[in-house]
Structure 1
Amino acid sequence: MTNDEEILHVEHVIERLVVRYPDLPRETVEKIVHSAHAHYANGKVRDFVPLLVERNAREMIQGLALS
């Protein structure tokens, strides 16, 4: 996966999470997703990064909902 493809996939993650959590401001979702994405910045295998980013971001959002 190229860097451009990865960024596009991450943008799709943002869109899915904005739809799934309409009560959260878009900016909050974007910050959470970009934070999750930054966690994998140094990983060598990039194929599953969007999936992992979405999973981590969803967990962070659900944690916000519980607090």
Structure 2
Amino acid sequence: MDDTEKPDTIAKITERLAARYPEAPRPLVGRIVAEEYGTLDDSRIRTYIPTLVEHRAKDRLNREFNAQSAEL
């Protein structure tokens, strides 16, 4: 995986997570995915970046939106 695939990867992960978390605003999902991608941008082994980004973004969305559900 190289940097030319970054925008496509972010878009695909954002699409999947936006469908999984419809209560989350799509721009927020995209921002979270981009932030998580950024934390791994300097990784030497790039093969697993999409999987790691999706997992980390999903964890953040779970924390934020499960906490909001508990407050209601």
Give me the TM-score of the superposition, normalised by structure 1.
0.89
Describe the SS at the equivalent of 1:42.
coil
Higher relative contact order (CA 8 A, sep 6+): 1
Partner of 1:11: 11
Gaps spanning 5+ residues in structure 1: where?
none
Task: Give the superposition deviation at 1:40.
Answer: 0.3
Question: Partners of 1:10 and 1:29 in 2: how far apart?
Answer: 10
Give me the TM-score of the superposition, normalised by structure 2.
0.84
Aligned residues: 67
Q: CA RMSD in A?
A: 1.1
Percent identity for Structure 1 against Structure 2:
28
Q: Which aligned segments of 4 or more residues in structure 1 are displaced greater than 4 angstroms?
A: none
Gaps spanning 5+ residues in structure 2: where?
68-72
